[in-house]
Structure formats: C-alpha cells, structure tokens
Amino acid sequence: MRKTSVIPSGVTLVGDIEGDADLVVYGRVEGPIHVDGTLVIEAEGVVRGHVHARTVVVRGVLKGNAFGDEVVRVDEGARLVGELTAPRVQVVPGAQFRGQIHVAQVGEPRLTTYDPRLHTFSGWPAPDAGTTPGTLVAPRAPTSSGAVVAPAGLDAPTVRTRVVAPVAPVAPEPEVTHVVAPFAPSAEATQIVAPEAEVATPPPAEPTRIVEPSPGSAMSPGTTPAPPPFAEITLSEAVSDAIAADGMDEDATLSEAMTYPPPPEKLPLRMPRLGRTPGSRRWS
C-alpha cells in the first residue's frame, strides 16, 4: 500500500517537499511541492507555491500554479489563484479560481515533460516569474539543520525543512483529528475521510519521535492498522527553543504531528457529473 504523507493542521512548513509519495495537506506549506503521487490540499489546508503531482486535488487554498501529470481537480470550496495545467482539468462549479487553464486536447499524448526550473510543461508558456501569482522562490534549507530524512528503501518524501512550528503559539488541540486516505494512483475509488473522524491512538509502546518502518507491515482492512513507516523529523534548535519558550511539549506536538490515521473509508475521487439530467441536458 502506498504511504500517504501528511502535513497536519496547525503546522506550517517553510521549505519544499519532494518525493515519491502521496501527500495530504491540512496545514500550511510555504514553498513548492513536487510528489509523484496524489497531492490533496484539504479544505483547511493552505499552500503558497507551485505544486506538481500526478494528481492534484485542491479543496483548500492554493496560491501558485498546479501541474498534474494526469489530473488537476479543483473541488468545491477551493480558493485558487494561479495556473492549472494538466491533460485533464476538472473544475467544480462553486470553486473559486483565478488564472489560466491549460488542458491538453483529448487524444493528445500525455504531457509528461516537465521543467522543474520553469515549473512548466513543455509546450506551455512558462509562467512569468515576476508577475505570475503564486510564484515563489522557495528558501533552500541548510542541510545541517532541520530535516526529514526518508529511511532507505522507503518511498516517503524527502522534506527539507527550514522551520517547523505550530501556527499559533496557543496550546495545541489535544486530540489528533486527521484522517487521511492513501490514494490509489488510478484516481479511481480512492478516498478521503473528513478530518472529523476519530483516530485511533498510537500504541503506547511506540516511540514518540521516531517510528521505525515495520518491514512488510500490511495495513489489512479490518485489523488494527500498524502505523505506516515515515520519516524522522528533527527540529532545528531555534524551533525547539521557540516551542519550549511557548511552554509546549515538543514530543507531544511531534507525536501528534506524526500519528498516522486509520485506514480510510471508501469515497469516490471521481468528480460527480455536473448535474446533467435527461430533461435538463443543455441547461443544468
């Protein structure tokens, strides 16, 4: 099963995210995201920067360009300023969007040539770096401090972190409420569960900061899910100090951030038809 990475709510990431994994953003990301999988910006998620994934689903706020190797989908409730580029682009009425849309013609070869420097697919005009909304120059993190390192052999993304800090210095919500579904690459019959759902607490014996990948662990439905392996997160000293100064428990914050959700329930990813009924074919 693919491992879904999560940026939980209450967490801001300044930096860039790159890797071969699915990613769900409930929190805030300032910087570009490039994952070879499904990227979902959930309703409370905020991303400022270009995003590139095989499938991009936006339900929250995105200021930046979205590039999909297969699909870019803008769901209801999304607020998006930027460009959408993909062979298939879906925009649900009710979504708020400003910017250009580039859709490949049906029957055209898939657009897979991607220039990460220009954040554009070949054949499409490059966004003007100076004026395109959402254009960001991502701060490059120093390699020595703050890093999320994927264990060898995992396809977890490499996240170079400059600052990981809670958005608000107030006490964090005690319970973890993020439920994230792993996305199937086919974008069919994949699901996302609303974050209100309950989350099983991790086993108490589990280390709070590092969870070792359990080799061959299978999250078989119906059984207690073993938390998927994920990367170690190291806070820079400055952030640790800041958290300490705020009187927060760093380990508690981290374990909250690293708690993995239970297996998802089934929700279709496919966009519903836009209200077409036999009697209202033209006008609906």
Partner 1 sequence: MTTERAAGYIGPGLVVHGRLSGEGDLIVDGGFEGELSIEGRVAVGPAGRLKAPVTARLVTVEGRVDGDVTAAEVVVREGGRLHGDVRASSVGLEDGGALHGTVTMDFDLPADLD
Rounded distance between C-alpha atoms, residue 61 and residue 44, angstroms: 8
Tell me the closest approach of the beta carbon of residue 152 to partner 1, in angstroms. 37
Tell me the closest approach of the beta carbon of residue 98 to partner 1, in angstroms. 5
CB 131 within 8 A of CB 61: no
Tell me the closest approach of the beta carbon of residue 63 to partner 1, in angstroms. 5
Rounded distance between C-alpha atoms, residue 182 and residue 221, angstroms: 13
How far is the first Cα of the chain from the last one, in angstroms, to the nearest whole number?
39
Tell me the closest approach of the beta carbon of residue 7 to partner 1, in angstroms. 16
Tell me the closest approach of the beta carbon of residue 255 to partner 1, in angstroms. 28
Rounded distance between C-alpha atoms, residue 234 and residue 269, angstroms: 34
Beta bridge partners, 84, equal 66, 101
Closer residue to partner 1 (CB): 45 or 227: 45
Contacts of range 247-256, beta carbons closer than 8 Å, 24 or more positions apart: 248/166, 248/169, 248/171, 248/172, 251/208, 251/209, 252/172, 252/208, 253/166, 253/172, 254/208, 254/209, 255/202, 255/208, 255/209, 256/8, 256/172, 256/176
Tell me the closest approach of the beta carbon of residue 185 to partner 1, in angstroms. 17
77, 76, 80, 56: which is closest to 68 by C-alpha? Answer: 56
Q: Where along the sequence are the contacts to partner 1 (CB under 8 A)?
A: 46, 48, 61, 63, 71, 79, 81, 88-106, 270-271, 273-274, 276, 282-283
CB 190 within 8 A of CB 212: no
